[in-house]
């Protein structure tokens, strides 16, 4: 899932235009974005606060197991890096 400071309407339009099939959550007051420490103050158009690119891997119990943070809104994680991080995560005994 992804989270953005954009409104529900803007997020819906983005998903439709880009063909995204994953949930895109709207956080226009940036409450969750601040809680995760990924706010990029004044980093958006016309100085709007935005979320900086970040990826979190969360286990089934809700524990954050891996984090990737960037300083630039232009930086994006390469999929292979995420796949390596997933492979390196410990598996619960029932999945091994």
Instruction: Give me the residue spans of the domains in the chain.
Output: 1-52, 54-96
The residues of the chain scoring below 70 in pLDDT are 73, 92-96
Q: Specify the pLDDT at position 32.
A: 92
Per-residue model confidence (pLDDT) at position 27: 93
Q: Which DSSP string do the residues of 21-61 spell out, in sequence order?
A: -S-EEE-TT-HHHHHTT-EETT-SGGG--EEPPEEEEE-TT
């Amino acid at each position: 899932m992804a989270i953005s400071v954009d409104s529900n309407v803007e997020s819906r339009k983005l998903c439709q235009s880009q063909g995204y099939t994953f949930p895109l959550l709207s956080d226009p007051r940036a409450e969750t974005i601040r809680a995760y420490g990924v706010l990029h103050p004044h980093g958006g158009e016309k100085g709007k606060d935005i979320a900086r690119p970040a990826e979190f891997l969360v286990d089934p119990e809700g524990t954050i197991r891996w984090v990737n943070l960037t300083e630039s809104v232009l930086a994006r994680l390469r999929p292979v890096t995420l796949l390596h991080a997933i492979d390196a995560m410990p598996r619960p005994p029932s999945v091994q």
